[in-house]
Structures are given as structure tokens and as C-alpha cells.
Amino acid sequence: MLIRPSDPLTSSETTPESMYLNRREFLAAAGILGAGLVAGAAPRPAGAQDPQAVGKPFGLQSDDKPTPWKDVTGYNNFYEFGTDKSDPAEYAKGFVPRPWTVQVDGLVAKSGQFQLEDFLKPSVVEDRIYRHRCVEAWSMVIPWRGIMLADVLKRAQPTPAAKYVEFTTLHDAKRMPGQRSGVLQWPYVEGLRLDEAMYPLVLLATGVYGRDLPNQNGAPLRLVVPWKYGFKGIKSIVRIRLVDKQPRNTWNLSAPQEYGFYSNVNPEVDHPRWTQAKERRIGEFARRPTLMFNGYKDQVASLYSGMDLRQNY
């Protein structure tokens, strides 16, 4: 995904709060109320793989098949553990993602520091199968396990001044050897507009294939926003902060002419160095056409009505 200097991004518009969807209304509208949910299921310990426990597909096409475990967990981007696709699986082996503290703060009525278990406990753990599209024009289909980010945000009670959510990865070069290099600015940071963050498709994932997240996939907690390029899916999150200004995000800091804030999957807006019109599904030979918003257009297009998506890439 590397790198050249360039122009700063222009500012963007925000969507009114009235566009938030109520979770049950959304699930009912999407026709999946109850279908892909494992109400009250407790997170499974690593080692208890049970693909049968994984819920039904969510917004998939008929020819979308879950990508095999070995690719989901062996072909990764996680620069804290190296820049090759096979590096994270190898160099994150010794990473111990427990105990883990998550800080929720900024423009909220209820800030706090939580042990991971307490952070997760009040929420419903769900299994959802999503398309996963990397900006490098490869894709997968991943059975995630996680909780809805909206649930966490509602509990924190954002103040009226809160417009964006900023996420931060652990910064600890002793545990994450890639942070000893200057390949990116550390810690890795990401952001969403508050209404995007509240959208019920957005997960804080704790697992894949019914197991706890392997370290290389962002243990113990990572973001999943299925209509955006994969780099928005920040891994190993330690902080969730509500803010009033658009946060910077790591790939935008690194190469702003190539990576924007919105990063919605869009086959009509090419990356400056390659086309986004097609993608290589890992495990397939022929490339397939990329879908607008990664196939989630019906659900999320209204979040961006009136915005120029070429400008706001």
C-alpha cells in the first residue's frame, strides 16, 4: 500500500443524527431479524472451532463462499508484525492479548477504562458473514464474531458535540516488533463519522469462524466495517474516543493522495496506481467485478446522499 507525499484532504460534510437507524428496524428491514444472530452467546475460547456455530450470511451474493480458515488467518495485513502477508501469522505468535484494557473517552457522558471481559459482557455476541475487500484489490468472505459498535457507543452516551469516533491500536514496540520500524506512524489510528459508527452493520470483532480472533487478525478486538476498504478495520484496539473533528487515519497520514478518510469501496474511483473496478477473491482465479459499497449499497448508500464520492474518497 506504500507511499508518497501529497496534498491534504479537503473537509467533509456530516449526516444528521436523524439518519441513525434503530437496530431492530434495521434488522427487520434487512430481513434478517434473528437469522444471523446468536443471542447471548458467550465468546468461545480459542481452540473450540465450530464452524457450524457461525450464523447465516449477511448481505452476500449467492456465489460468495466463506474464505478458508488458512487464508483468513494466513494472508494478513498487520504492519505491527511485518509488511509481508505471511508475517503477521508468524511474528504475532507470541503476542499475548490478555489482560486487555479498552478506554472509552472523549465527548461522552460515561467514559471509562474497562477490562476486555467487562467491556464485552453487556453486549450480544453475534456471528455474521461479511465480504472483506482490501484496497489492494483482493477480497475474502469472513465469518466474524463480535458485538455491535453502536451498542458500546450508546452505553457511553455521546454528547451532542460528538461527531466522529477515533480508534487507536496498542502502542507497545516490545510486544509489536513492527513498531520499531518507521514504515507507518505509530500507533495505528482510524476514524468513522458518528453516524457511520452507529450503523448496525459495524462490528467490534472478537473472533472469526466461531473462535477467538487469532493474533494476526487483530486480537483481541478489531473493527469491521464491511462497506469500506479493509484498512478501516483497525486491529488490537485499546482506545475508542468520541471527538468533534474528523480524526486522521493512518493510511491517510501515510499517503493522503491515495487513501482518504471515507474509503468506501467504489469500483468507479480508481486508486491512483491501480483500478478498483475488479478484485481477486482469494482462492479464485478469475477476477470478479467489485460492487459499489462492497455489495452493501442498499443498506448504506443513504449515509452519503449529497456527497461527491470522488471528492470524498
Chain residues binding ligand MTE by CB under 6 A are 1, 76-80, 134, 169, 188, 217, 230-231, 233-236
Pick the closer one to ligand MTE by CB: 224 or 242.
224
Do the strands 138-148 and 126-133 form a parallel or antiparallel pair, or are they unpaired? antiparallel
DSSP annotation of 22 reads P
Closest approach of Cβ 181 to ligand MTE, in Å?
A: 12
Pick the closer one to ligand MTE by CB: 44 or 222.
222
Q: What backbone phi and psi angles, to 5 degrees, belong to 275?
A: -80, 150
Query: Which among 288, 292, 142 is positioned nearest to 227, based on CA atoms?
Result: 292
Closest approach of Cβ 24 to ligand MTE, in Å?
A: 29
Alpha-carbon distance of 265 to 228, in angstroms, equals 5
Pick the closer one to ligand MTE by CB: 162 or 202.
202
Name the residue with the smallest CB distance to ligand MTE.
230
Closest approach of Cβ 78 to ligand MTE, in Å?
A: 5
Beta carbons of 245 and 163 less than 8 angstroms apart: yes
Q: Per DSSP, which regions of the chain are E strands?
A: 101-106, 112-115, 126-133, 138-148, 164-169, 189-193, 203-208, 211-212, 222-224, 237-243, 278-281, 288-289
Pick the closer one to ligand MTE by CB: 21 or 192.
192
Pick the closer one to ligand MTE by CB: 236 or 276.
236
Pick the closer one to ligand MTE by CB: 254 or 312.
254
Which residues does residue 240 pair with via DSSP β-bridges, in sequence order? Answer: 104, 167
Closest approach of Cβ 299 to ligand MTE, in Å?
A: 21
Closest approach of Cβ 119 to ligand MTE, in Å?
A: 18
Closest approach of Cβ 53 to ligand MTE, in Å?
A: 20
- Residue 85 buriedness (CB in 10 A; 0-12 / 13-18 / 19+): middle
Beta carbons of 23 and 150 less than 8 angstroms apart: yes
Alpha helices in the chain (DSSP H): 23-29, 69-72, 87-91, 116-120, 149-156, 194-198, 250-254, 297-300
Pick the closer one to ligand MTE by CB: 20 or 79.
79
Closest approach of Cβ 40 to ligand MTE, in Å?
A: 26
Pick the closer one to ligand MTE by CB: 30 or 140.
140
* Amino acid (one-letter) located at 130: Y
Q: How far is CA 199 from the centre of its chain?
A: 12
Closest approach of Cβ 99 to ligand MTE, in Å?
A: 19
- Residue 8 buriedness (CB in 10 A; 0-12 / 13-18 / 19+): exposed
